[in-house]
Structure 1
Amino acid sequence: MTVAFRLYRGLEIYPLVYPHRPTEPGFGHNYDEGFDASVRIQEGEAVQDPRSRVFGIAVARPFRSAGDARRASVAYAEHLIDTCLPGQTVLDMKS
């Protein structure tokens, strides 16, 4: 399996998308209730011990499709990276 990520300003962005309702034992996935999303932002391979953080995306309602959730994850990560204070990275931000 290939893990897809987007490289943005030297940081790797990994969208994390999962069903809004967890799968119950013995049942299939329930995609009808939509999807939730988070994003992992990680330093690139050039760093010896890369740091990473996961940021949840708070929304009022679940995303209708996995694609919508994935796009929102990438957009949210880019927003976090772009709005960092000078001399700081998103990995240094306080929660």
Structure 2
Amino acid sequence: MDAYPSANYKGFDLYPLVYPYEPPREWHEPRPDRAYNASVVICREGSPPNAEHGRVFALPVAQWESLGAAKRAAVKTGEEIIDGLVEGMSTAGL
């Protein structure tokens, strides 16, 4: 994870987490060149992004074709979570 947040939004810091997507498959199936999953860590602005001060939210979309697209989607979804637009995900208590 980056040492500095990728974005600040309404008093929260957003840290996108992007990692390779590895779907289960058989040895003979074709494999895509690259695919990525993403999550976002949200914490109060200026607080360290650890378990005590932050929360990790997995993004509902399964995968992205590029690292940049996954990172942008993580920041956008983090903003939507803060705004209360994502059902079942909340920053209450942070």
Q: Same fold (TM over 0.5)?
A: yes
The SS at the match of 2:37 is strand
Secondary structure (helix, strand or coil) at the match of 1:7 reads: strand
Q: Does 1:15 align with 2:16?
A: yes
1:26 is matched with: none
Aligned residues: 79
CA distance in 1: counterparts of 2:38 and 2:21, whole angstroms: 9
The 5 Å alignment of 1:30-69 reads: 32-45=33-46, 51-59=53-61, 61-69=62-70
- SS state at 2:64 partner: coil
Q: Aligned residue for 2:3?
A: 3
CA–CA distance in structure 1, aligned partners of residues 57 and 33 of structure 2:
24
Unaligned runs of 5+ in 2: 24-30
Instruction: Kindly report which structure 2 residues correspond to 1:56-95, keeping only aligned pairs within 5 A, or say none.
Output: 56-59=58-61, 61-83=62-84, 90-92=91-93
- Separation in 2, partners of 1:71, 1:53: 18
Q: CA offsets per residue over residues 44-73 of structure 1, 9 Å max, x none?
A: 2279xx6210000122x4200010100100
Cα 1:43–1:34 change in 2 (3 A) is same
- Aligned-pair CA distance for 1:2: 5.5
Identity between Structure 1 and Structure 2 (%): 35
Give the TM-score normalised by structure 2: 0.68
Letter in 2 for 1:82: D
CA distance in 2, matches of 1:9, 1:2: 20
- Structure 1 residues 83 and 67: alpha-carbon distance in aligned structure 2, compared to 1, 3 A threshold: same
- Partner SS state of residue 39, structure 2: strand
Q: TM-score, normalised to structure 1's length? A: 0.67
